[in-house]
Amino acid sequence: MAFSDISKEKVPADARSVSDESDSTNEEGWEDVEPEDDSQPVVDLFSEIVYPDVRSMLQVCKDKHNFDLLKIQKELELDFLDSIKLVNYVRSQVKAGNKSPDVSSKAQFEDDAYLKPVLEDDALLYSLDDIAEEQDEDKAPGNDSDRRVVELQEELERLQTQFSEYRIAVQQSLEDQLTQEDEKLQPEAPEKKSTDKTEEVDADYFSSYSYNTIHESMLKDTIRTDAYRDFVYENKHLFKDKVVLDVGCGTGILSMFCAKAGAKKVISVDNSNIIDRAKEIVYDNGLGDVITCIRGKIEEVTLPVEKVDIIISEWMGYGLLFEAMFDSVIYARDRYLASDGLMVPSHATLRVAPFADPDFIASHISFWHNVYGFKMNSMLLNIYEEALVRTVQPTTIPGDSNIFLPLPLHTITVEELNFIKEFKFTLNEDIDALDGFAIWFDIFFMPSRQSPVPEDPIPSEMQKKGIVSFTTGPHGTETHWMQTILLIDHGKEQPKPLKKGQTFTGKVGYQRKQNGYRGLDITVDWNGGENATGNQQWALQ
């Protein structure tokens, strides 16, 4: 925020706006900074109030906010650049809403990012190094004018040197960032490309889970969160005095369910920055003696135990297997789960069904033929190659769904997650065209490794029997996973109407992306008789 951006508000009698001065200040170069005016206006560290000089502002900080800059400089032995970082750190914390930033050690603000000013033309930064000296001089019994002139000249030279160093440090930081971005654009050596790209994709993946929004979405998905809670709380005897591993713990909600259910120890593992928030949440809820949070990939961390009794994880992605997190859960199962241990959830099923929705086709495809009177047909390029994640209405599913892949979580292998499976469904109504296919999954929580799942389980029927489960299909309550929609490209031919009772057979394939990508290629071969046969591939990414 520049001085000219400061909002107008009531300020103390000794504070004033400096919007007029800021215009000229902005035009000055680095080397032109001269301490011509000992009463240079400065913005308060903890508000937007402007004070006529540094001393009065620092005194208010000390009296009102218990923040003694001179004392902190002395106790932490801060040099000039350290002091620069301290000021920018405090301003950034206050800007983020934290009026009591932690300044107990230099480690809190050692990042070079704090060399970049939070406020444009921050007068406090120009005055840092001589504040303490001026205070000492005020306490001296007298001053020699000639000596003072020499000292001021030396001080000016020193300030110019230091600000030159500061400018170079900031410039170097920016150049380093630009260099890193340029390196990403440079072609890499063939032998390194695959590994580096995998690491980059992994970094992006884990980084995406560092933000509040995605966790808010998942926690507010009551179908998902209630199912985990209900299974844990309704089966406390399974968790009593057990050791539980939570893979990809996020905010730690599943870990806390297990701790509340009586688990002896819960080990919560996550490789994103959210683990830091999870630690705080765990301790805020008094569960720090039960739950241990560990940062890292489950494949790379060292757990404090040899085996666990239960593995709990919410690993499901769009189309069930998008993101490939289930690989890590399988690794954890094979490495850490006791021979009689329990997977939570225990089973999943993937379903496919016909999709027919002329309104959806009109809004997603035909829309581009006339956009405010203009043709935008080029926007249709590759539009049929992308798998869509949407919530669709039950009325758009004109037939029964068919399970094409059951997943018993206690035994399935990573190799089995690349597959081609057969399906069969029948239309239960007449339709003008088969517009595509809808894919979704169902999740089941069984209390024992030996508990069988019915051949064609329906979550609503399972719940009547007291079995915790949920569906992500269109006939259930909407979840954040929605459904995966695969639109058929009919080419230049008009699709043909189809009749109720018409049966389709075919194969669905899931193929993992290469080079560490967490997306999927989905293929469907279908045969519904004359005018209803084809094959196509879609990318879920």
Q: Yes or no: say if 114 and 89 are a contact pair by the CB < 8 Å rule.
A: yes
- Residue 314 among the catalytic residues: yes
- Burial class for 494, CB neighbours closer than 10 Å (0-12, 13-18, 19+): exposed
Catalytic residue among 9, 155, 314, 422: 314
Q: b or e along 267-304 (b: 16 or more beta carbons within 10 Å of the residue's beta carbon)? A: bbbbbbebbebbbebbeeeebeebbbbbbeebeeeebe
Strands (E), 419-519: 419-426, 436-445, 468-471, 483-487, 503-512
Residue 370's alpha-carbon distances to 19, 358, 376, 488, in angstroms, are: 50, 17, 7, 21
Residue 327's alpha-carbon distances to 78, 205, 397, in angstroms, are: 48, 14, 31
The tokens for 525 are 């071969």
Distance between CA atoms of residues 510 and 500, nearest Å: 29
DSSP annotation string for 277-309: HHHHHHHHTT-TTTEEEEES-TTT---SSS-EE
DSSP annotation string for 108-126: GG-SGGGGS-SSTT-HHHH
Residue 258's alpha-carbon distances to 17, 158, 168, 283, 293, in angstroms, are: 56, 61, 53, 15, 14
| Cβ count within 10 A of residue 397 | 23
Catalytic residue among 34, 323, 385, 461: 323
Q: Strands 483-487, 388-390: parallel, antiparallel or unpaired by DSSP?
A: antiparallel
| Cβ count within 10 A of residue 1 | 15
- Residue 323 among the catalytic residues: yes
Catalytic residues: 314, 323
